[in-house]
A and B are shown apart, each in its own frame.
Chain A
Amino acid sequence: MTFNELSERLRTKFGDAAAPSAEGAPQAVTVPGPAIEQVARFCKEDPELDLNALSCLAGVDRKDRIELVYHLLSYRKGHELVLKAALDRAKPEIPTVESVWKTANWHERECFDLLGVNFLGHSDLRRILLPDDWVGYPLRKDYVAPTEYHGMSSTRVNPLQQPDAPADGKRSELKDLSQLKSLYGPVAGEMIVNMGPQHPSTHGVLNFLLVTDGEVMHKAVPHIGYLHRGMEKMAESISYPGYMPFTDRLDYLAAMSANQGYAMAVEKLLGCAVPPRGEYLRVLACELNRIASHLVATGSMAMDIGAFTPFLHWLREREYINDIMEELSGSRLTYNYMRIGGVAHDLPEGMADKILRWMDHFEPIIGEFDRLISNNEIFVQRLANVAVVSAEDAVDFGLVGPNLRASAVPWDLRRNMPYSAYADFQFDIPLGQGFRGTAGDCYDRFVVRVLEMRESCRILRQALAKMPAGDIRTKLPKRIKVPPGETYARVEAPRGEMGFYLISDGQETPYRLKVRTGSFTAMSIIEKLSHGVMIADLVAIIGSLDVVAPEVDR
């Protein structure tokens, strides 16, 4: 259904309360704040609209009001809708939609944390990304960053000119560390263990508070925000082309997808097209990156379960991909290969052959990996039937990407909402079907990733075979002024849908950039999955959901 049909249906139900946007304005239905919950419920439950997923909940400070933007998506029907609600800036309040989509829980906490919006009826409204004693709401336009926090100053002095450190090595005074413990006091009868931000897993700085009864957990509460770098606020002060390296660091394992999403958002606003060769090179980079990312995901899952060797074999294969990407873009990890309007460099001589030869070498190694670990009985017993996520839960909690497909929901942006050059390629979408257990368990998530690697190889071969000649990049001026508007661009990153909601007001820097990442919502489901599982299973769950810290915290 198109936007007009969707908004017409809403208008018949709610009358003037659901007002579609004017011609020429970005397509959205404006809803008054207090009515948001009924409208949202209708959107989800109406069989015609069937908007069963909340893709993104963004808050925007429009200087005279605070605007909340809800991006809704229907997995069954394939259409999307944007709802907007305007809130009073002095006292922003709105009912929560947590009862409609469970994923709204964490999205609303983030909105409260960064913008100060009060969600009425929310079950647990407290800060999520910033420390609990932070003062102020950073995403507001009149926010002034503090000059120091707990004794650590926010300015940088030349270390060569700094006076010598005192003898005991302390450079500054930190707050008394014992006060940290008071935040997590023990409860009678249970043991509270902190699986701290530093732990020997590869997923980065994630913190879980486990409430356990011996070995079996009652719940595991994730605490995030240890890598919150304020990417969204920084976007407001950095020019459009200059923000590209930052998108790399949004998810360093899937840097190209983030690049592509951001570039697509800017290009949509600019109205410029990417030449075909540029699109094919983008697909090439994205799929290579997808393989590299799944290598780390499956390898670190194996390592968490205890088999160290497959991870090292995968790191060896990643080195080859790093070599290829280094020759292509100049860097091994955060490539910054794409530009607005295309890609940065063309394929060098002989690179296509090199990639094909590498794929000839790599595909049998996936088979070797299967023989080594995927079919290993101990490995299967550790993962099968653990943390089964049903299809409704997966959609409701906002899982995307391989996590969603492992719960047997057939949704892949490359197939259902094709972007870039993906419509030209033939590839399958692996779905979880209970390969050794139930559909949606950890083993399915693992196997879906291994199968996706094979599919990426297929796409790569087709892309290399059909690569058109021509320009790689449309000519854009060095300083870009993007015409006013807003857009939401989605890409299928290795960890799921990465959405870039970009608002421009005609300047050289974005007005607001909101990034919706797959790992953020994947973290939110862990608390629900953790009832009654063991601590060893929790590690398997985190590994199977493939969570990386920068995506969670941005």
Chain B
Amino acid sequence: MEYLLTNTEWFLNWGRKSSIWYLLFASACCGIELMQAGGPRTDLDRFGAVPRATPRQADLLIVAGTITYKMAERVRLLYEQMAEPRYVIAMGSCANCGGLFQGSYSVLKGVDKIVPVDIYLPGCPPRPEALADAILKLQQKMSAEKWLRNLRA
């Protein structure tokens, strides 16, 4: 039974990780590197990662760019609109911890204050190859999830 569950889980996780649809959310400079990552040289489409415009159909929220207090509530709304299972990559220093703008009065010091982050990606902005690496690490994280076995337990 355990064997069956593990292999089914491997197969289902393979399906989930091979087709990560991310939400097009580009706030600031990291957004341009996100677009370049979907562009010709580093092509995220190779991994099956397609940008989707609506949070309902996306399972990855890449928070690219600085989040201000005014924007934070919208980010939370977007995150809540996503269908589970959902993941968040905090891309760039500004999303990780406020980045360059630590001294600013209107910048949220890190997006993990409002959404749970799975992968922190440092850089200012991170290279597209770094973003591809983050997605690969997310794939590793996804394939290690034991949700089916936990359901049974």
Contacts and interface: CB of A to CB of B under 8 A. Distances in A.
Do A and B share a direct contact in the complex (Cβ within 8 angstroms)?
A: yes
Interface of A: 130-131, 138, 143, 145-146, 149-150, 152-156, 159, 165, 169, 171-172, 174-175, 177, 180, 196-200, 202, 204-205, 225-231, 233-234, 237-238, 245-246, 249, 252-253, 296, 312, 315-316, 318-319, 322, 332-334, 549-550
A237 B101 CA distance: 12
B44 to A, nearest CB: 12
A152 B114 CA distance: 8
Contact of B29 (A130, A146, A333): A333
22 contacts: A131-B69, A153-B113, A154-B105, A155-B109, A156-B97, A156-B98, A156-B109, A156-B110, A169-B116, A174-B114, A180-B73, A202-B26, A202-B32, A225-B68, A226-B68, A226-B74, A233-B105, A234-B101, A315-B40, A316-B40, A322-B36, A550-B29
A228 B77 CA distance: 20
A383 B6 CA distance: 56
Contacts of A229: 66, 68, 101, 104, 106-107
Given A156-B102, A333-B33, A177 B73 contact: yes
Contacts of B98: 156
Interface of B: 23-29, 31-33, 35-36, 39-41, 51, 53, 65-66, 68-74, 76-78, 97-98, 100-110, 112-116, 120, 124-125, 127
A198 B74 contact: yes
A231 B120 CA distance: 25
B28 A227 contact: yes
A230 B105 contact: yes
B106 A228 contact: yes
A181 to B, nearest CB: 11
Contacts of B35: 202, 315
A46 to B, nearest CB: 41
B27 A165 contact: no
A226 B40 contact: no
Q: Which of B29, B31, B51, B127 has the most CB of A within 10 A?
A: B29
Q: Which of B69, B76, B77, B127 has the most CB of A within 10 A?
A: B69
Contacts of A143: 105
A234 B103 contact: yes
A542 B134 CA distance: 32
Given A156-B109, A333-B125, A204 B28 contact: yes
Contacts, number: 150
Nearest to B101: A229
A200 B21 CA distance: 14
Contacts of A549: 27-28
A153 B109 CA distance: 8
Contacts of A231: 104
Given A138-B105, A227-B66, A172 B100 contact: no
Given A180-B73, A229-B101, A204 B31 contact: yes
Contacts of A130: 70, 106
B27 A204 contact: yes
A150 B69 contact: yes
Contacts of B113: 152-153, 171-172
Contacts of A198: 23-25, 74, 78
B51 to A, nearest CB: 8
Contact of B115 (A171, A253, A332): A171
Given A152-B113, A172-B113, A319-B40, A249 B28 contact: yes
A334 B116 contact: no
Nearest to A149: B69
A319 B128 CA distance: 11
Given A159-B110, A227-B68, A177 B76 contact: yes
Nearest to A332: B127
Q: Which of B23, B66, B107 has the most CB of A within 10 A?
A: B66
B71 A226 contact: yes
B32 A296 contact: yes
B105 A171 contact: no
A205 B29 contact: no
A368 to B, nearest CB: 15
Contacts of B77: 177
